[in-house]
Amino acid sequence: MWFEEIHDDFFKQGLRVEEKLVEVESEYQKIEVYRSREFGKLLVIDGHGMLCERDEFIYHEMMAHVPICTHRDPKRVLIIGGGDGGVAKEVLRHGDIEVDMVEIDREVVRISQEYFPEIGDWENPRLNLTIGDGIEFVKRADSGSYDIVLVDSTDPEGPAEGLFNREFYAHVFRILKDDGMVVAQGESWWIDMPLHKEIMGVIGQFFKIVMPYRFEMYSYPGCNWNFILGSKRYHPTADIILQRADLIDGLRYYNSDIHKASFILPNYVKKELGQLYKW
Amino acid sequence: MWFEEIHDDFFKQGLRVEEKLVEVESEYQKIEVYRSREFGKLLVIDGHGMLCERDEFIYHEMMAHVPICTHRDPKRVLIIGGGDGGVAKEVLRHGDIEVDMVEIDREVVRISQEYFPEIGDWENPRLNLTIGDGIEFVKRADSGSYDIVLVDSTDPEGPAEGLFNREFYAHVFRILKDDGMVVAQGESWWIDMPLHKEIMGVIGQFFKIVMPYRFEMYSYPGCNWNFILGSKRYHPTADIILQRADLIDGLRYYNSDIHKASFILPNYVKKELGQLYKW
């Protein structure tokens, strides 16, 4: 039995799975959990692999620690989406940060808590979870109230569609402090460069610095994926705080050298991005 | 119609193909060429994707330019395998290097010349092609006769099996000069860490410096793959010759920053490799 994903009818990827543990139709999407021998349990939303136990740490560490180790003094972090709890857990490793998390789908949280309890840090008193619409949340949030916003969303279809447009990022920019930054799931150079460029362009309408950085994710098609960092002031490779980056306990992927290396672009990507790359 | 590859019964990857252009049973292996819309033509040997036109440049540039831009003064390069001609073409961009290439399978060369003519540089007078067994070739080659050896092989099954053992590397070490280096196809951390560690260990029995470096290959399972560099003297990140690395014309992937970034290891890899990593 295979969990297979076909991207745009040209690239197919499959993980061997042994058993489907649960399938739920929530108000927003279909959520499935599979068990596999090689990859541990696998979370699938609307047919797309979201994470598996074996490599979730790469995505979650890279989304959280890169901006946190770039920002001088991050105190308040907002996570949009991220209902599996993994990004929040990584942010919460930094003891002086308060996290607001806004996940639209209560069922994603419930299933993650039940099937992937070790990925989250749900009982942490510095985590404030809201079940609600992230788009509405950023509209209503106070200006200049966050240091970092992390957009941990699915692809731009279904409930996440409104997280990829200009209006959403106008509010993200507004609710960030003068030295704030955003990191968003930025798709893949290889599998979908046009969509990657679109997100770069939207974030670039607001932020002074806009740079993609790479990570691996073996349950995503093409296995190489990007985050996009938008920053009002700090530069992710010039301003990295080495001391903070290398003193985080328990990390399996991230370190200060990985942080810097992840921003390096191959020639063909530099050419494709052109002026969309703002550094 | 899909070209599908299943790795060890747990990971599957497929590229949409439109047509099989040729299928040949050579003396050594089955060689196929497919045409695809998104990836260009695809070369398949014994059921494994070897290269596709869309991303062959990543593999070939990374195997060639990393050692060449680390070595002080490379003049003679030996390529074992590499019958598609792509690594040789990249080496030959450096105008003062002579290349000996030893490919066991005449049919790989013939089919590459016919279906992938732009990947090779076959008419270059600095390329000396031998059709023969690379293992025998290194046994007979003079000691201290090469600056760089590139082992551009398939996986350790079939004709390439003998390119992964101690005896082969003893000769590679012997035929290299006192400041020589080798680069070998080093498999994947994610898909087959035990095999990666095995090759690291074999090369480490001879070379002072043994370091893996990463590249992407979208026709290989897991898409993230490694080369392993063994060096008698020069260090690939400390001794990189920036001027040479950034003045090579026409490259689509490699640059001096990519060179350095490709050697950076995630924490879990450092832990796995332990003493096998010699830097």
What does each of the 279 residues of chain A score in pLDDT, given as a tens digit? 999 999 888 999 999 999 999 999 999 999 999 999 999 999 999 999 999 999 999 999 999 999 999 999 999 999 999 999 999 999 999 999 999 999 999 999 999 999 999 999 999 999 999 999 999 999 999 999 999 999 998 878 777 888 889 999 999 999 999 999 999 999 999 889 999 999 999 999 999 999 999 999 888 888 999 999 999 999 999 999 999 999 999 999 999 999 999 999 999 999 999 999 999
Domain count, chain A: 2
Catalytic residue among A55, A105, A152, A155: A152
- Cβ contacts of B15 on chain A, cutoff 8 Å: 10-12
**To probe the interface with A, which of B8, B9, B10 has the most A CB atoms within 10 Å?**
B10
Measured between CA atoms, how close is B268 to chain A, in angstroms? 5
Q: Are residues A129 and A39 part of one domain?
A: no
For chain A, strand residue ranges (E) read 2-7, 11-16, 19-25, 30-35, 41-45, 48-52, 76-81, 98-103, 127-131, 146-152, 176-185, 209-216, 224-231
Tokens of B142: 């003079």
Amino acid at B125: P
C-beta of residue A153 within 8 angstroms of C-beta of residue A161: no
Domain stops at, among B10, B34, B52: B52
- Spans of chain B, pLDDT less than 70: none
Angle between the N-to-C axes of helices A189-204 and A166-175, in degrees from 0 to 180, rounded to the nearest 10: 60
Q: What is the CATH number of the domain that holds B224?
A: 3.40.50.150
Verify whether residue A152 is a known catalytic residue: yes
* A37, A62: one domain: no
Predicted local distance difference test score (pLDDT) of residue B48? 92
Residue B80 sits in the same domain as residue B139: yes
CATH number reported for the structural domain that contains residue B9 in this entry: 2.30.140.10
Domain boundary among A52, A70, A94: A52
User: Are residues B188 and B221 part of one domain?
Assistant: yes
Same domain as A246, residue A143: yes
Clarify whether residues B22 and B134 are in a common domain.
Answer: no
Closest-CA residue to B160 (of B122, B108, B208): B108
Model ipTM value = 0.95
CA–CA min distance B223, chain A (Å): 6
User: Which of chain B's residues have a Cβ under 8 Å away from the Cβ of A264?
Assistant: 257-258, 260-261
Is the domain of B13 the same as that of B26?
yes
Q: Are residues B153 and B187 in the same domain?
A: yes
β-partners of residue B226 are B214
**Both A46 and A93 in a single domain?**
no
Assess whether B9 and B40 both reside in one domain. yes
- Considering the domain architecture, whether residues B202 and B75 belong to the same structural domain is answered as yes
Of B216, B253, B262, the CB nearest to A224: B216
**Cβ A266–B260 below 8 Å, yes or no?**
no
Q: Which domain holds residue B20?
A: 2-52
Chain A residues with CB under 8 Å of a chain B CB are 2, 4, 9-16, 36-39, 55, 58, 190, 216, 218, 222-224, 251-255, 257-258, 260-262, 264-268
Same domain as A48, residue A144: no
Neighbour order of strands in the sheet with B146-152: B127-131, B98-103, B76-81, B146-152, B176-185, B224-231, B209-216
